Structure 1
Amino acid sequence: MEILLHKMHTKLEDVVQYSLQSGAETINMNALIGQDIRFTFKQNVQCGSCGKNFKKLFAQGFCYNCFMSVPEAAECIIKPELCRAHLGEGRDVAWEIAHHMQPHFVYFAVASSLKVGVTRTTQVPTRWIDQGASQAIRIAETPYRQLAGQIEVALKSSFTDKTNWRRMLKNEIGSFDLETEKWQLEELLPADLSQYMTEDDEIIDINYPVLMYPEKVTSVGFDKLPVIEGQLLGIKGQYLILDNGRVLNIRKHEGYIVDFDF
């Protein structure tokens, strides 16, 4: 069947449930684990904003013009401390108010090492699953995005904001006492930011549907391999784990049009 790729939908249960959407049809990806699957790239990509076809897309599946203009690709998506929604400014003020003038969490997540991150409260636990986190805890809750970004910046000197995706996919995970780590960092924050720390110390555990983690990881993609096929051994983050240590990042290929056979 033909699919316009978007990131997989997820649902947090005892084991994360994954699905791909093909028009009105939902494909249960968990049910395919252990089976052979095949993707054939149709040499066509579609912008996630304007819907036009192009030869190349930029980050998050946008054409160049949309990447440079739509609010979903603004700099504050990657650097929330630069958000101007609280000032009534941005690429699209109405969009900024709807998405960034909303409560945000600052959190710790363990995907490889301990990392700090920011997300809208409505994106929990989706954001953690997409990163391949095995555990997460809320650190602070702020009324809008820019404040959460300020807290993240204050913590970056002591904690990374990146995930080592190779270690994450090999399931090489550090062991951390998240509650202790959370309250030890309070002294790193100035008083105007520490006031947003949350008393919610719930630790979220996330388990992924994986039969076997690879010892070595090789990333594969449609730009070099128009046909990608093999046994699906598991799913973690937004990666399909295939045999022979190969992994396919579905989110990286948003907007790619493929035939999917299983």
Structure 2
Amino acid sequence: MSVRSLRIAAALGLVMLLASCSLLQGRNIDRPLVYFVRNVTVMADARIPLDLIEGVDRRVSAAIASTRAPQGAERVVLLVKIDRLGFGEGARRRLAQAKFTVTATSVETGEPVAQGSFTVSSPTDDPKWARQALVEEIAARIRFAFSLATPRIRKAQPPRMMSTRLTTDPPPVIVPDAPPAAPRAAAVAPQAPTMPQNSPAATTPVVSVTPPPTEMAAPPVAEVAQPPSSTAPAQPARRAADVRSGTPVENGASGTIRLRPDCDPAVTPDCPATP
């Protein structure tokens, strides 16, 4: 009886030892775990669409970048392997379903510290959104299992417009842009025909003859009528005998003094007395 009890106790001890070794090597993910996740790698065979793999990798990487590093947590990297892609059963036979395995490997030791297998289904059977919805379900299950944050969706804010125009001002006049002018082709100068180097004509220098300058015709000159000149009638000079002392002309000089612009009654007999 004692020998049988010892055998049972030894068997129980061996089972507990094997269970503890399996827990140390990698425990199943049955609740949210807290690790300092550094990176993720998503892999699958050729039957899995490439956009599904890229979508899962992009979403999990964004969740890792948005998660604050926990204090004192072990550093791990995630390996996501998509095992099967198909459809559900029963009421979910029209919904897409994916089975995948996630393994967390320690950065320090290189050994797996946690591993779990999951099955998720797409919430819609619309062909347009079924694939993306399944990708989001896979990423959401990984975020929950490793306590990762959900990245926020950034909304593009419209640019702020600042204006000093009052509400009572008239609306601005918008002038439509003029159509761009077509570029003009540059004039290409004609090239002289090339002569072979061995020909005697190629050795004779070509002297360019400058064409004579073209004379420009002078513009026609209109004849301008000259105004008639108002000249006074010629008057005879006074004789030297008529020059007496006390007159404006003396000392043997000869000259004339006009008191009127037209004529002088003292010199011209036919000059009227009044102008």
More helix by share: 1
| TM-score above 0.5, yes or no | no
TM-score for both structures, normalised by structure 2: 0.19
User: Highest Rg: 1 or 2?
Assistant: 2
More strand by share: 1
